Amino acid sequence: MSERELAEGLAAMSPTAIDRFRRMRRLSTGHSQALNSFLRQNPEKRLTAANNKSTNAKSVKAKTKSPIKPKPVVRKKKMEDDGYVQLWMRMRAWWDGVELDQPDRAPDAEAFPKQMDIDIDAGDETNYRLQVIQQLWGEATSLPGGKKFALNLLKAAKPTKTTVIADLTSGLGAGTWHIAETTDATVNGFEIDKELAKEGQRLSQADEQSPRASISHLDMEQIGASLNKEQYDIIVARDFLYAVKDRKEVLTGIADALKPGGSLIFTDFCLADRNTEKTDVLAWREAEPQKPSPGTIDEYRDLFGSLRFEVRTADDITATYIPSIQAGWKSIVESLKTGSHSRGYVDSLMEEGKVWLSRSKALESGQLRAIQFRAIMQKGPKRSITDSMSID
């Protein structure tokens, strides 16, 4: 949270709430200086005997005032006494680990209704999860970095218009379509999440792009049945193997689907050291929708070698991945500054936010890393003394 945003939050709080926030929260040096500066400029926000007396006097006056002509200040004072803070401020504080007005309570979904501007619309059939995902990462996008990131994955493979590509994590389709439009290659999109796959295909058909970049659901447990043998020059995917139960089986299906010399390019979350998992990684494991089983870079290299993949690169992209996550969260916080928000939307926002907050913290700790791999499928003649040209 920036010092400016902290000041905005303090302006909406009562002297009592500010004093409690100051005593109960461990602030950084910058935030402490910003708080002290705010109190110097706004002496009425300091918790002093005079302010307490003034506050009590106003409360008595409000109680004895005729209900026929209530003063607007009564409602404002009540909101300040309750430590009212707007939704966008609370969500930003939650992400930054700063509790604005309830130090003893996490700002979970159950705490929102009385404190935030939320409309209850249980009858609304809008898929809030899809709304939240696209507000985080962009239109028809479901992962950090957007369509530009998806295209950058393929740079080293140098696709052309004769290249056939499989995107195994198309999401809602934006990255897949961008690859098809930019490279003029033939791209088949797949998505593990059924809900995203269904909506991605709908969007693809609506934009009349399905002939070149269709999107269909991919069952990782039956990947061999979904991908035709030796059909693809490039297979690309993002952040998926860490949640797969049997990585060897999945990579075997991918190997079969690649042409000789074909490229597998993907990103994944890897452990820095399997023997030193600490709090942030353990919290990440708990927050993930599917139980993760991440490997280390060396474990991946060994697995690729056993399947006749040659690992060309294994680049640590954590330093660029974390800002992409934070940029998405910043954009959604900005969107919360205007309008009201439904119960369903806030619930979906919290669920999605918990996952990405846990990922971000684990990556920031250094215990988890975002790695980009490029491996080449080694199929072809294998010479031996007994069979000089046997092929496997």
Q: Domain residue spans in the chain?
A: 3-116, 128-382
Residues facing residue 390 across a β-bridge: 382
- Grade residue 74 by pLDDT with cuts at 50, 70 and 90: very low
- Point out the least confidently predicted range of 94-108, 222-236, 263-277: 94-108
The answer on pLDDT for 237 being more than 50 is yes
Range 250-274 average pLDDT: 95
Structure tokens at 168: 């195994």
- Grade residue 52 by pLDDT with cuts at 50, 70 and 90: low
Q: What long-range pairs does 54-57 form, CB within 8 A, spacing at least 24?
A: 55/14, 55/15, 55/16
Q: What is the CATH number of domain 128-382?
A: 3.40.50.150
Closest alpha carbon to 191 in 151, 244, 240: 240
Give the pLDDT confidence score for residue 365 in this predicted structure.
94
* Polymer length of the chain: 392
Whole-angstrom distance, CA of residue 283 vs CA of residue 287: 6
Give the pLDDT confidence score for residue 186 in this predicted structure.
93
Residue 85, number of CB atoms within 10 A of its CB: 23
Q: What is the pLDDT of residues 300-312, one digit of tens each?
A: 999 999 999 999 9
